[in-house]
Amino acid sequence: MNKLLKTIFSMEIMTIFLIFMALSCSIATFIENDFGPLGSKAFVYGQIWFEFVMAILILGIIFHIIWFKMYTKKKFFIFMIHIALVSIFIGAAMTRYMGYEAVMTIHEGSMENRIYSSDEYIQVKIDNQAIYDKKVMMTQLSQSSFNYETVIDNKPLQIKFNRFIQNAVEKIVPDENKKPMMNILVSESMGTNSIDLENQKSIESKFITFSLNKRIESNKPIVNFETLNKDFFISSNIELALYSNDLNKEQIINANTKIKIDTNKIYKIGQTQFKIADAQLSAEVKIVSEDNHKIPKEQQLNAIILDLIYDNKTTEIPLYGKGGANSGISQKLTVQNKQLELTWGSKEFILPFAILLDDFKLERYPGSNAPSSYSSKVKVYDKDSNNSFEYTIFMNNILDYKGFRFFQSSYKQDESATILSVNKDPGKIPTYIGYFLLFTGLILTFFVKNSRFKMKI
């Protein structure tokens, strides 16, 4: 047994693991440059194999401490260095498995005790009761798999991960044996909207009702589309104006006059303009990945597709979000009179105390709108311990209370609220102890008799 352990934890094997870990960290650096912190975490730092390498290296250190009897007085300072590495590893493990990071937004004059995790979760609610959540990581490089099962009306319900879609958008995609569909861009006083019009359906905008192969009655102007002889035709109950893309008026279409659609033209009724972006005789709406250069960064959303299996039927459910500390868009549906709510995004945590934002201050550089500093004057209220106190949070001045640390992170652009980063790190003390032992041991090694440093001198 001793021979086996000596082989496994030999200096040669430990060196190989150390080189492998160094290479992994190097690769993670390049991945982070291209895919961001979530990419490197998903592909390297968050993987089980990386934890395994770290565990082997630490076990190797412990084995060497025992095998070479580093705990003796003669080797005490070498023992300090090795035990320091073990302490740092224990602290890192406690941080990873017991700690978390979150974000807290507090509006000026308001009190808040809710924080939202930096990690992303799949959350399931039934009739507004949270029944399942799992921490996941969804990136283009790596996705967490999950599977949830329950029973509704004596029948099994299963929700499981299907696929991940980067920069997800809904698009009309040609598909045989489907129905006619159209995508229409509508510009009104409140902005531009994209609507997907399905066969024999109607959709109302603010001023106009659109229909496809469906006769309707409405107090609003009606724009009706029909499919005849493999072509799309347009007509309206009032006069339509037809413009070129540079807004030159080209034609007036009289009420109840049917003409073939033109996807290169702009139609106008009153102050409402619309353009037919796409029209397919046989198609369906699918979620596809769009080129990220076509979507502004702040509007980019990813999607995960879930399979909901119930009563021998599988339905694909899309969940949209940005991952990380961003709240997702909930998807609500009904199964046998049960209200299901599915969300992919940050998870809400309730603090054992509340924080009131008395005042948020933002200072700018003279003659510029660039912020030079900003701070949050807060008051902490703790009902459990009947304690309250005031504190000012700013850069390098951290609020530390009951194991939670609050950092000044950002603010809302209208300066109405502060945004704090929240950190709960139970591994902080073992890590700090490890760093202290490590540097103390390294420094003292230079001055101890019979150390390798002294022997070389």
For residue range 344-398, what is the model confidence (pLDDT) as tens digits? 999 999 999 999 999 999 988 888 888 888 999 999 999 988 999 999 999 889 9
User: What is the DSSP pairing of strand 222-228 with strand 249-253?
Assistant: unpaired
pLDDT reading at 456 higher than 70: no
Assess whether 363 and 230 both reside in one domain: no
Q: Which residue has the higher pLDDT, 294 or 319?
A: 319
The per-residue pLDDT for 224 is: 94
Cα gap 140→165, rounded to integer Å: 8
Assess whether 254 and 338 both reside in one domain: no
At residue 254, the 3 state secondary structure works out as: coil
The per-residue pLDDT for 448 is: 67
Cα gap 251→324, rounded to integer Å: 51
> What does the pLDDT average to over 130-141?
88
Last residue of a domain, one of 260, 285, 310: 285
φ, ψ of residue 15 in degrees (nearest 5): -65, -40
Question: Per mean pLDDT, which range of 97-111, 146-160, 174-188, 318-332 is the poorest?
Answer: 318-332
Cα gap 416→371, rounded to integer Å: 15
The per-residue pLDDT for 376 is: 94
- C-alpha closest to that of 125 among 93, 96, 143, 148: 148
Banded pLDDT at 453 (limits 50, 70, 90) = low
Total structural domains within the chain: 4
The per-residue pLDDT for 127 is: 93
The per-residue pLDDT for 178 is: 83
> What does the pLDDT average to over 288-292?
81
**β-bridge mates for residue 107, sequence order:** 417
The per-residue pLDDT for 210 is: 93
Banded pLDDT at 266 (limits 50, 70, 90) = very high
Banded pLDDT at 450 (limits 50, 70, 90) = low
Check which CATH number belongs to the domain holding 235 and give it.
2.60.200
Last residue of a domain, one of 320, 346, 372: 346
Assess whether 90 and 153 both reside in one domain: no
Assess whether 11 and 88 both reside in one domain: yes
Assess whether 199 and 149 both reside in one domain: no
Assess whether 182 and 260 both reside in one domain: yes
Banded pLDDT at 217 (limits 50, 70, 90) = confident
Assess whether 358 and 438 both reside in one domain: no
Last residue of a domain, one of 266, 285, 304: 285
Assess whether 272 and 175 both reside in one domain: yes
Q: Which residue has the higher pLDDT, 191 or 451?
A: 191
pLDDT reading at 105 higher than 90: yes
pLDDT tens column, 39-56: 788 888 888 899 999 999
Q: What is the percent of the chain where pLDDT is above 90?
A: 50
Cα gap 29→186, rounded to integer Å: 44
- Exposure string of 414-443, with b = 16+ CB inside 10 Å and e = fewer, is eeebbbbbbbbbebbebbebbeebbeebee
pLDDT reading at 410 higher than 60: yes
Banded pLDDT at 202 (limits 50, 70, 90) = very high
The per-residue pLDDT for 161 is: 94
User: Which of 77-86, 297-306, 400-409 has the highest average model confidence (pLDDT)?
Assistant: 400-409
Assess whether 176 and 267 both reside in one domain: yes
Assess whether 28 and 65 both reside in one domain: yes
Assess whether 187 and 274 both reside in one domain: yes
- Mean pLDDT of the chain, nearest integer: 88
The per-residue pLDDT for 77 is: 80
Residue appearing with tokens 């934002």: 357
Cα gap 173→285, rounded to integer Å: 6
The vertex-301 CA angle with 26 and 30, nearest 5°, equals 10
pLDDT reading at 20 higher than 60: yes
Cα-based distances in Å from 42 to 47, 158, 352: 7, 25, 31
> What does the pLDDT average to over 199-210?
90
The per-residue pLDDT for 452 is: 57
The domain containing residue 389 runs over which residues? 100-115+349-424
Q: Does residue 85 contact residue 58 with C-beta atoms inside 8 Å?
A: yes
Q: Which residue has the higher pLDDT, 228 or 454?
A: 228
Q: Which residue has the higher pLDDT, 15 or 177?
A: 15
**293 exposure class (CB count in 10 Å sphere: 0-12, 13-18, 19+):** exposed
> What does the pLDDT average to over 221-243?
91
> What does the pLDDT average to over 270-289?
89
Model-level pTM? 0.75
Banded pLDDT at 454 (limits 50, 70, 90) = low
Banded pLDDT at 444 (limits 50, 70, 90) = confident
> What does the pLDDT average to over 339-348?
92
- Exposure string of 209-237, with b = 16+ CB inside 10 Å and e = fewer, is bbbbbeeeeeebbbbbbbbeeeebebbbb
Assess whether 163 and 296 both reside in one domain: yes
pLDDT reading at 297 higher than 80: no
